[in-house]
């Protein structure tokens, strides 16, 4: 509603500025722009502006099919009932309900974006306050009003980030700690922030403190719980010496997966998208290898390595398809759009699917974390840390543990959400989690599209 109200305001203001004291089509809109000293005239002007806002709001709602009645009936996922791509009403009663719903939307949009902005602030504050009221730390670890106020106003993820920053040096020097970052743990009916730590074995896990104390700016000392997960050794890149997929003809780095066929935003050329450690031909990560021929799982030369690099948050490459080679994205259901992943995906455990060349079947899981640093052991046996990765997993009820979704040979595979929108590209995995590079960053950096 906030976004729609902003659109409505822009349209209404345009009409007020351009058509005041003029005719809009056959309608004389009268004075909308200039205030008057006459109370009766000013009252009429105010009513005309309100009517204009309601009419514009209704037209905006109708154009986007933003039906308030349907939205209220689907509050968990309102976006599923907005838009004309949904089934069109085929009965008179359904059309009347749609018209009534869009009129009601228009009335609410006429309240203005400031109203909706303030209401959203209030709702977010109330939601945060509700979770803090059932948190024992509110009563046990805050001993004056300033401490309480800051604790209530600080989101859980920020509390977690303070813990990460406070104990970074200590955890980096702790043997057996592989990676750590912000996370969450279930607390009653909600979630609270935690310091999540991945370790090599259970002995290391048992030595990790259950709580980490942080200090807020007012001096309040707050305990942040830890969440320790045994993931085994350093994650391995999902690149294997056997299996279907794609590889550099040199064979030095093994095989991976064709993530997607992408196109250049400037020209008409098409490319294979995968990881740099899949398409590169040697262990020199500072530039392209001399070997640039890219082959499919049958050894056919299908592309030439065009561009690739490895940085602190990227391991990506593209290879230009040879003339006459035809490829499609049919196996991954032809996703045509890309989106950013947010912390909401973590809280809602958004469902995702992956089709890797090694697994050779679509594996489903969920988004576990939206920004995680991981040190990978590359084929040259050196460690390299990639940051801001998505963490993906599934929960195995039999073993009561998290399980990775991918294995060796799945590097480069695209991660697709339940709306067939691409969100990431697999780079590696350990025993518990699969890790992926955010696709919106790849698309922007390489200036390509699906």
Q: Is residue 48 a contact partner of residue 32, using CB atoms and an 8 Å limit?
A: yes
Beta bridge partners of 305: 319
Work out the burial of residue 314: count CB atoms within 10 Å of its CB; fewer than 13 is exposed, 13-18 middle, 19 or more buried: buried
Q: Which of 186-195, 373-382, 429-438 has the lowest mean pLDDT?
A: 186-195
Mapped onto helix, strand or coil, the DSSP state of residue 4 is helix
Predicted local confidence at residue 271, as pLDDT: 93
Distance of alpha carbon 230 from alpha carbon 220, whole angstroms = 32
| pLDDT higher than 60, residue 269 | yes
CA distance 408 to 144: 54
Would you state the pLDDT for residue 363? 94
- Is pLDDT of 421 > 50? yes
Both tokens assigned to 344: 């909401």
Q: Distance between CA 365 and CA 353 in Å, rounded?
A: 6
Half-sphere exposure of 40 (CA within 13 A, CB side): 0
Q: How far out from the chain centre does Cα 237 lie?
A: 22
Nearest Cα residue to 425 out of 281, 277, 259? 259
Which whole number is the average pLDDT over 152-177?
A: 91
Q: Is the pLDDT of residue 242 over 50?
A: no
194 bridge partner residues: 183
Whole-angstrom Cα distance, residue 77 to residue 93? 24
Average pLDDT for 151-170: 89
| 8 A C-beta contact, residue 94 and residue 65 | no
Query: What's the rounded Cα separation, in Å, for the pair 413 and 286?
Result: 23
Lowest mean pLDDT among 68-82, 176-190, 287-301, 421-435: 68-82
Query: What is the model's pLDDT at position 305?
Result: 95
Nearest to 429 by CA among 236, 286, 201, 223: 236
Among 289, 295, 283, which Cα is nearest to 253's?
A: 283
Token pair of 345, please? 């995906």
Angstrom distances, CA of residue 306 to CA of 21, 24, 57, 360: 61, 56, 50, 27
C-alpha 178/C-alpha 230 separation (Å) is 9
Rounded to an integer, what distance in angstroms lies between the CA atom of residue 201 and that of residue 420?
37
Q: Which residues contact 300 (CB under 8 A, 6 or more apart)?
A: none
More confident residue, 344 or 115: 344
Question: pLDDT per residue over 75-126, tens digit each?
Answer: 666 667 777 777 777 788 888 888 888 888 878 777 776 776 677 666 666 6
Say if residue 243's pLDDT is above 60.
Answer: no
Give the whole-angstrom CA distance, residue 221 versus residue 214. 6
- Distance (Å, whole) CA 57 – CA 11: 9
Q: What's the alpha-carbon Rg for the chain, to the nearest Å?
A: 27
If pLDDT is split at 50, 70 and 90, which confidence band does 241 have?
A: very low
Predicted TM-score of the model (pTM): 0.69
pLDDT at 384 over 90: yes
Among the residue ranges 115-124, 228-237, 269-278, 374-383, the one predicted with the least confidence is 115-124
């Amino acid at each position: 509603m906030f976004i729609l109200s902003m659109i409505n305001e822009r349209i209404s203001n345009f009409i007020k500025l351009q058509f005041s004291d003029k005719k809009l089509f056959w309608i004389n809109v009268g004075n909308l722009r200039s205030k008057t000293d006459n109370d009766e005239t000013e009252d009429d002007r105010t009513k005309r502006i309100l009517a204009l806002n309601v009419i514009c709001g209704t037209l905006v709602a109708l154009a986007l099919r933003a039906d308030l009645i349907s939205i209220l009936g689907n509050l968990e996922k309102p976006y599923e009932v907005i838009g004309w791509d949904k089934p069109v009403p085929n009965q008179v009663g359904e059309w009347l309900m749609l018209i009534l719903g869009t009129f009601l939307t228009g009335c609410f949009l006429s309240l203005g974006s400031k109203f909706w902005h303030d209401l959203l602030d209030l709702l977010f504050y109330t939601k945060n306050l509700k979770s803090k009221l059932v948190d024992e730390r509110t009563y046990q670890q805050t001993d004056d009003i300033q401490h309480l106020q800051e604790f209530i106003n600080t989101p859980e993820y920020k509390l977690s980030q303070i813990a990460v920053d406070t104990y970074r040096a200590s955890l980096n020097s702790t043997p057996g700690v592989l990676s750590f970052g912000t996370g969450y743990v279930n607390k009653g009916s909600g979630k609270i922030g935690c310091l999540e730590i991945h370790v090599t074995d259970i002995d290391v896990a048992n030595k990790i403190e259950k709580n980490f104390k942080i200090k807020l700016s007012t001096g309040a000392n707050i305990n942040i719980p830890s969440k320790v997960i045994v993931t085994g050794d350093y994650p391995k890149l999902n690149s294997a010496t056997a299996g279907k997929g794609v590889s550099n003809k040199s064979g030095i780095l093994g095989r991976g997966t064709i993530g997607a066929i992408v196109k250049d935003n400037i020209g008409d050329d098409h490319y294979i998208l995968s990881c740099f450690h899949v398409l590169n031909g040697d262990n020199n990560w500072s530039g392209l290898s001399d070997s640039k021929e890219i082959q499919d799982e049958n050894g056919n030369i299908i592309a030439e390595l065009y561009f690739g690099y490895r940085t602190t948050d990227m391991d990506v490459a593209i290879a230009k398809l040879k003339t006459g080679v035809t490829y499609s994205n049919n196996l991954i259901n032809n996703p045509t759009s890309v989106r950013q992943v947010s912390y909401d995906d973590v809280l809602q455990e958004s469902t995702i699917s992956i089709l890797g060349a090694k697994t050779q079947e679509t594996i489903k899981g969920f988004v576990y974390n939206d920004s995680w640093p991981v040190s990978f052991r590359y084929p040259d046996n050196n460690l390299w840390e990639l940051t801001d990765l998505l963490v993906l997993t599934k929960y195995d009820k039999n073993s009561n543990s998290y399980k990775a979704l991918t294995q060796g040979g799945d590097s480069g595979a695209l991660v697709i959400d339940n709306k067939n929108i691409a969100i990431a590209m697999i780079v590696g995995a350990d025993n518990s989690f699969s890790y992926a590079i955010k696709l919106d960053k790849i698309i922007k950096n390489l200036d390509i599209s699906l």
